[in-house]
Structure 1
Amino acid sequence: MTRLTSLAALVPLLLAGCASVPKVAPQLAPVRAEALGLSGRTAAIDPRWWTAFGDPQLDSLIDQALAGNPNLEEALARVRIAEAQVEGQGAALRPQINGSGQISRAHIADRLLPPPIGGSTANLGLAYANFGWDLDLFGRQHAAIRQAAASAEAARLDADATRLTLSVSIARTYVGLARAERQIEVAQAFVKTRQDALRFIQSRRRNQLASDFNLRQAETLVAEAEQAQTRAVEQRDLLVHALAALTGRGADAYAQIRRPTLSLDTVPGVPADLPADLLGRRPDLLAGRARIAAAEQGRAEAKAAFLPDVSLSALAGLTAVGLSHFFTAGAGTWSGGAAVSLPIFQGGRLRANYRGATADLDRAIASYDDAVLGAVREAADALTAVGAGDADLAQQARVVHGLRETVRLDQVRTRTGLGSQLDAIDSGFRLLEAEQTLVDLQAETLTRRIQLIAALGGGFDPQGPRAAARATDPRS
């Protein structure tokens, strides 16, 4: 009973001897979804959203990239580093046992021990095991572990954000490749049509029905069409190189990337408004939340540093003068006890650390709030771009339809002698230009949808990284 009374009296003395915690509170708070005008709907996007394009080669390229892109490998390496830090912090809560042994030859002073040991030279043997256990009564080590676990979760979410960015980059590049292939076809049709026009002008020039100016103009138009074809081929090759690099491969993959089979006319479905779960489905925003949690635990750790640190320690081993006595009963030795560390006066270091940890929490919150506002604007801009692009594409489709009808009628008039071949050629030029624009708008429509999918977090499952975090958390 006396021991319990003494321990109860010791606790307030320990707390009284600690440095006082400064009254410093965070100045910011994370923005709430309710204040952002999000709808009550959710974003239903398939985890493998790119399969909606119906192109097996695109599926294969994204799978390859997610398995071997250097940027993704770097992000995954950061995850492994963070997980190792969690494990290292968790070790501080467990008992520690260390062993040591030593054999030496020494001369023993006769003033230290009486003869015959004193004044002699003998072998000294020492072997012991040391036990230590930080009890962490006030949670400083637990806060450090929770901070490391939150940082590890942020790293995992960063890796998921990298996966999303990578899949989006490949899909956009692949759509660009499909556009380049279609533009090559249009450019080839341009070249053929303008070559036909040049031959017609040359015939008229021989019959004195056209001037040298008309001839030079027709030759220039042929050169422009051939230049457009050359540029389209160059763009196609550059996009092939980009796709190979995104999948983590080099020149050996160029010949293996074939013409896309996806249709520029087919567009994947996307939400019609900003979903309510926008903040909970973007991995970059969830990573920001995890960093806020890490900063909160860092602040808790800095606060716990003002409180005592209590640990247990014990030592057991053998020591003897002369190795022949080393394994005898008299060579055994042991000790044990408790140690208390009191932060009585630290020259302001603990207060500075606590203020810094509080400021770090404000910094994490400010960074998260900025990312949230940027994400909402990005998603809203993407929605607007999708709507405007769809309207623009519909108008261009009507233009192309009208020009195709014009070309058909001009061809009928030419065959019946009611129109000239120059009129038919001119309307053909305008149709090809309109079809070029149509291809660009079709590709842009797909690209804008891909951008919206990215802004909404793609098919990311927010529960996956959190489940993984709980599985590796030493507290679970």
Structure 2
Amino acid sequence: MSLPRRLLAACLALALAACADMGHIAPQATLADAHALDGGNIDDAASAAIDWPRARWWQALQDPQLNRLMEQALADSSTLRGAQARVRQADALAGAAEDKSRPQFDASVSVNRELYSQHGATPAPLAGNYAWRNQATVTASYDLDLWGRNRAALAAALGDVQLASAESQMARLALATALVRTYIALSYQYTVQDVIRNSLAQRARILDITRRRRQAGIGTDIDVAQVETTLPAGRRQLEQTNEALALLRNQLAALSGKGPSAGAAISRPVLRLDRPLAMPQALPADLIGRRPDIAAQRWRVQAAASRIDAARAEFYPNVNLVAFAGFQAFGFSHFLDANSQVRGASPALSLPIFAGARLRAQLGSQTAVYDGAVEQYNATVINAMMDVANAVTKAQSLQKQHALTQQALATAQRARDLAEQAYQAGMSDAINMLNMQVALLAEQREQAQNGASELDLYVSLMNALGGAIED
């Protein structure tokens, strides 16, 4: 064997021997298989006729004012802008990681005037005199990345970009969900306001009838007082509703990125939902790729796995190739002459001989981060399935509640009418009729709540299904 080959073999053997021991450090967590999860009532509610949510799912509520508020919110939200800034930051860091995998170039220029020692290593005529010592060089270096450390670091950085993008989608969905739910609450309060106003008008009519009965001698002051007592309570409820409307307008203005004064311009909602509440097919498999929180956790796991690869690569020797070229001279007269050229090339070998404890600690840390990310992913998948299952359960229950509410409302309306007829005929007192009016008011509010719950259920379903990923 020739001497160069022997030297190469010896260097290789030395390099491999210099590898630090990893100590059998490995991840312990296992990713959950969403396909293996029992969908339960989700599978029963799936329908081939139902599509996944579209990007602007709130437009299904058919309210132009809501659409305008949403466009303002998505354009002016500081929360979304902050999330988008984090995406740009991650992208910039990925660019820096990618640059490490390329050849690195550097240039340096030094111009020094020095006094050289008369008794040093510098010979005459420089010894004991001042002289200019000038140098200009260009240096190139390249990390061979034999064990994939830089590639793994780049993969982790690219995973962080995807993670930040998914988190931006999460912020977008959270903002849209909050705005639509607040808008539904505003619509509900308007309906409650109508119910209370109608109830007050009805009580005022009863009071008028009671006063006329007293004047006719078939009623008493007690009857009048009993009816009058209910009016302040009704007016208080109306004022509470007016307060709730004002607060909800302020909240909508804030969510849309505006000041409180913008809330005064928000008019009464006109929400309508004409589509059925059902699940698309391919649950839970497609849910994994459509919910931004699951996507974010998946990218967090992948980035953590890449960082484990980078930490493992640290246990192996690192080889850099370095070359330089330039000019070096005393004084300026011959600085750029051909004879003033300097050049050189050499490999740089870094051996982790004495860094085993530190490297094992780093690997153990990255492995623990990976295990934590996996468990977060598993929990997110399970919570996502729970969200969808809850939406299905609420939809099934709401259908039954709606039918029962209609029955109760019809019964309360009929009871109130009969009580009023009996009162006008002198067969009943004012208290009985007022009790029937209170019962009717409660059922009317329940009907309004039922309608708001149906709209809110649509929002819950869109949120549970991921709300559609924006490109």
Give the TM-score of the pair, scaled to structure 2: 0.90
* Per-residue Cα deviation, 1:344-383 (whole angstroms, up to 9, x for no partner): 1215111111122111111111111112222222221221
| Cα distance in 2, alignment partners of residues 460 and 322 from structure 1 | 66
User: Which of 195, 211, 235 lines up with 1:202 in the alignment?
Assistant: 211
* Per-residue Cα deviation, 1:238-278 (whole angstroms, up to 9, x for no partner): 11111111111112311321211113x75653328892322
Unaligned stretches of 5+ in structure 2? Answer: none
Matched to 2:56, the amino acid is R
Residues 272 and 411 of structure 1: is their aligned pair in 2 closer, same or farther, counting only changes over 3 Å? farther
RMSD between aligned residues: 2.6
Would you say the 8 A contact 2:308–2:367 is kept in 1?
yes
Equivalence for 2:114: 106
Pair 1:16 & 2:24 matched = no
* Per-residue Cα deviation, 1:11-55 (whole angstroms, up to 9, x for no partner): 233112211222122221011112211366586222221111111
Name which of structure 1's ranges 146-155 and 315-324 shifts more when overlaid on structure 2. Answer: 315-324
Equivalence for 1:472: none
Equivalence for 1:155: 164
Equivalence for 1:367: 376
* Cα distance, 1:99 vs structure 2: 1.2
Equivalence for 1:252: 261
Residues 243 and 52 of structure 1: is their aligned pair in 2 closer, same or farther, counting only changes over 3 Å? same
Matched to 1:163, the amino acid is R
Matched to 1:20, the amino acid is D
| Cα distance in 2, alignment partners of residues 94 and 139 from structure 1 | 13
User: Which of 421, 432, 443 lines up with 1:434 in the alignment?
Assistant: 443
* Cα distance, 1:394 vs structure 2: 1.7
* Cα distance, 1:65 vs structure 2: 1.3
Q: Residues 3-402 of structure 1 correspond to what in structure 2 (within 5 A)?
A: 3=4, 6-38=7-39, 44-110=52-118, 111-263=120-272, 266=274, 269-271=277-279, 275-276=283-284, 277-346=286-355, 348-402=357-411
| Cα distance in 2, alignment partners of residues 17 and 274 from structure 1 | 52
Residues 347 and 275 of structure 1: is their aligned pair in 2 closer, same or farther, counting only changes over 3 Å? closer
Matched to 2:25, the amino acid is V
Equivalence for 1:471: none
Residues 273 and 379 of structure 1: is their aligned pair in 2 closer, same or farther, counting only changes over 3 Å? farther
| Cα distance in 1, alignment partners of residues 5 and 203 from structure 2 | 103
Would you say the 8 A contact 2:321–2:348 is kept in 1?
yes
* Cα distance, 1:74 vs structure 2: 1.5
Residues 421 and 218 of structure 1: is their aligned pair in 2 closer, same or farther, counting only changes over 3 Å? closer
Matched to 1:80, the amino acid is R
| Cα distance in 2, alignment partners of residues 306 and 347 from structure 1 | 8
SS of the counterpart of 2:444?
helix
Name which of structure 1's ranges 322-331 and 350-359 shifts more when overlaid on structure 2. Answer: 322-331
| Cα distance in 2, alignment partners of residues 274 and 230 from structure 1 | 49
| Cα distance in 2, alignment partners of residues 305 and 152 from structure 1 | 24
| Cα distance in 2, alignment partners of residues 323 and 193 from structure 1 | 105
* Per-residue Cα deviation, 1:206-226 (whole angstroms, up to 9, x for no partner): 445434433332122111111
Matched to 1:68, the amino acid is D
| Cα distance in 2, alignment partners of residues 249 and 315 from structure 1 | 59
SS of the counterpart of 2:279?
coil
Matched to 1:353, the amino acid is Q
SS of the counterpart of 1:344?
coil
* Cα distance, 1:90 vs structure 2: 0.8
Give the TM-score of the pair, scaled to structure 1: 0.89
Would you say the 8 A contact 2:133–2:329 is kept in 1?
yes
* Per-residue Cα deviation, 1:60-84 (whole angstroms, up to 9, x for no partner): 1112211121111111111111111
Equivalence for 1:473: none
Name which of structure 1's ranges 419-428 and 282-291 shifts more when overlaid on structure 2. Answer: 419-428
| Cα distance in 1, alignment partners of residues 429 and 291 from structure 2 | 58
* Per-residue Cα deviation, 1:311-331 (whole angstroms, up to 9, x for no partner): 111121222211222222222
| Cα distance in 2, alignment partners of residues 95 and 70 from structure 1 | 40
| Cα distance in 1, alignment partners of residues 74 and 161 from structure 2 | 20
Pair 1:451 & 2:460 matched = yes
| Cα distance in 2, alignment partners of residues 252 and 127 from structure 1 | 65
Would you say the 8 A contact 1:386–1:448 is kept in 2?
yes
Equivalence for 1:470: none
SS of the counterpart of 1:317?
strand
Seq. identity, %: 32
SS of the counterpart of 2:55?
coil
| Cα distance in 2, alignment partners of residues 392 and 137 from structure 1 | 66
Would you say the 8 A contact 2:117–2:127 is kept in 1?
yes
